Amino acid sequence: MYEDFHVTDRWTGEDLHCQWKANIVAIATRHADAVDVRFDVSGRPMWIALPCTAWLEQKKRSGKVITDQLTAQIAGRYLKQLMDEGYDSQREIYTMTVDEVLTQLDEVVKEAKANHAIPNLPVGIDAAG
């Protein structure tokens, strides 16, 4: 779904290849209460920061947790939406709000149900190998 996708840049018409690379707890790297999700966008790093409080809100509202796979899908869907709307290609990090995380989560789950699965991570690595 959103771990490896293509989108057309709204302003330049360029085909952008977006690939998920990692989920990193930002508390250790930049002292932020967030999980940073790294994507390569046609070879350039792009980070989407999700506030840790979104995990608490999701647990309160549904009793379920946000997994690593869901985190990558939420951030990827948000990134695709940013690009569709005409994002600032010079920015390297975007920070989501709790409401944005939960809204994207609902949409990802809806899409996953229609596709019958959320892709496994890590992408491109054979589980047997």
In whole angstroms, what is the distance from residue 67 CA to residue 69 CA?
5
Q: Tens digits of per-residue pLDDT, 44-92?
A: 999 999 999 999 999 999 999 999 999 999 999 999 999 988 888 788 9
pTM across the whole model = 0.88
Average confidence (pLDDT) over 28-48: 91
The band of 122, judged by pLDDT with boundaries at 50, 70 and 90, is low
Tokens encoding 49: 């920061």
Q: Is the pLDDT of residue 123 over 90?
A: no
Question: 93 forms bridges with which residues in the sheet?
Answer: 47
Number of Cβ atoms within 10 Å of the Cβ of 68: 14
Average confidence (pLDDT) over 99-119: 89
